[in-house]
Structure 1
Amino acid sequence: MTDTLPDRLSLDPRSPFHDAALLQRGVGIRFNGTERTNVEEYCISEGWIRVVVGRSLDRRGNPMTMKLKGQVEPYLQDAAAAPPAAD
């Protein structure tokens, strides 16, 4: 697999931007220089993330989300934790 991340990625399996194989590897998000763990969806080119707001649910049972704008820096968690390859 490649280490390039898509411009937009979502945790929701019903979304066209969902990629289960990539999410299985682990994707971390740095938003405005701060590590975020509650990100549901992100878009690098538009500069926003969607985060869960408390325990509230919408009428379909999905968590309520809020869109925040700023600098989005996604990275692969397995690539950050993996030691360098020995030659």
Structure 2
Amino acid sequence: MQVAVWDTYVTKKDGMIMHFDIIAPEEIKDAETIYNYGREYLKSKGEEGQPLTSEECTFCHIESLKPEHEEEIKTKGYYIVEMENC
């Protein structure tokens, strides 16, 4: 399966920058759907309400889905790769 990687940088409530990638099936072309995935993730981290738009989240590239992420993609529709300050 091919997935799209959306590079995301969100300013946290404490002012630090949170960097994560949103991984979703490549056929999802609607950016608002991707942003909603990111907002769901932010809520799970106590960062609900922080801006997440095209300013913070942009399409990066297509890659092959890693087997260890397949189950989460199937159940939630997306996967988050935490990179910095998550």
TM-score (norm 1): 0.30
* Higher share of residues assigned helix: 2
Q: State the structure with bigger RCO (CA 8 A, min sep 6), 1 or 2.
A: 2
Which of 1 and 2 has greater Rg? 1
TM-score (norm 2): 0.30
* Higher share of residues assigned strand: 1
